[in-house]
Amino acid sequence: MKVAVVGATGMVGRMMLKVLEERQFPVDRLFPAASERSEGREVIFRGKPVRIVSVMEAVEAVPDVALFSAGASVSKEWAPVFAENGTVVIDNSSAWRMEKEIPLVVPEINAATITAGTRIIANPNCSTIQMLMAIAPLHREYGIKRLVVSTYQAVTGTGVKAVTQLDNERRGISGEMAYPYPIDLNCLPQCDIFLDNGYTKEEMKLVNETRKILGNEDIRITATAVRVPVKGGHSEAVNIEFEREFDLERVRSILAGTPGVILCDNPSERKYPMPIIAHDRDEVFVGRLRRDFSQEKTLNMWVVADNIRKGAATNAVQIAEYMISSGLLR
């Protein structure tokens, strides 16, 4: 099997290579692709150096699958080129997520939307993935009527430049800034750009992607996304109003039995999800489960996951694994 990773030198691209190796994905030939300035350099895969190629060279190799994490503009330009050659593209950017004919996939939830003819598959936004992992099994049981979400997002979601800014500030070093304000000892109530409706693109991704993945345009959703000085993962406070009454112990049982979810919920022993626990893990951690006493049929929860792994790289590799196991990728 031939596998291309487009954007192989970026934070998510490097994690894709790591996850492919960790999960022993059947890679016979690897084609790491990146921009011209990286072409000819090497990445290490399974202990051996592999030359970085141009995107065109990766296309010409006709890989079976191409994992993309090089930004929306690159995906818009090159994903169709790979797809026309017969390559299955799994794209981590926002380029294709809301295209009606493109599956937007969290494998544990809606892998069945992928068909034999699918050539481009969209990876959801990191914040969407971890929230859906926690709420989708509850939606199947009780039906979700409304969601109120507040996110606390790590600087790794912005990229290497933001991590460098945080590190520089902690060391008292002046340098290039990814954000308009300091991020150390601060919180920025802005993730991505502001839209005409007053929300940011990140906040509207949570709204639109959630509805598409759950297949329900009637769910009412509002979100506030905040950038915090953390590296290990994103956190979310989620308030869920259900259509039907729920039993809290049944909710715990459902979440404890959901593959890919770890229930971490024992406040009396100060056990609850934190980014420091989720860092470099593929599971989504859920805790602080409690009834919202201000409104009937409403639950509060706290959800944490590593945004670079399950929120991006691991989810993409899991999609490819599903396609192999279901005979859609040979």
- Rounded-to-integer distance, Cα 192 and Cα 189, Å: 10
279 assigned to active site: no
- Rounded-to-integer distance, Cα 94 and Cα 60, Å: 25
**Where do the H-state alpha helices sit in 151-274?**
160-171, 201-214, 248-256
- Rounded-to-integer distance, Cα 93 and Cα 157, Å: 12
Q: Are strands 65-68 and 88-91 parallel, antiparallel or unpaired?
A: parallel
- Rounded-to-integer distance, Cα 138 and Cα 153, Å: 24
191 assigned to active site: no
Q: Which one is catalytic: 191, 234, 264, 279? A: 234
3-state helix, strand, coil in the chain (%, to 5): 35, 25, 40
Structural element, H or E, at residue 152: strand 144-153
- DSSP helix/strand/coil, 284: strand
What is the Cβ-side half-sphere exposure of residue 194, based on CA atoms within 13 angstroms? 6
- Rounded-to-integer distance, Cα 236 and Cα 149, Å: 7
Cα–Cα distances in angstroms (integers) from residue 316 to residues 125, 198, 309, in the given order: 11, 31, 9
The dihedral over CA atoms of 87, 105, 223, 307, expressed in degrees to the nearest 10, equals: -70
As to burial, measured by CB atoms within 10 angstroms (0-12 exposed, 13-18 middle, 19+ buried), residue 292 is middle
Q: Which one is catalytic: 126, 191, 264, 279? A: 126
Residues assigned a catalytic role: 126, 234
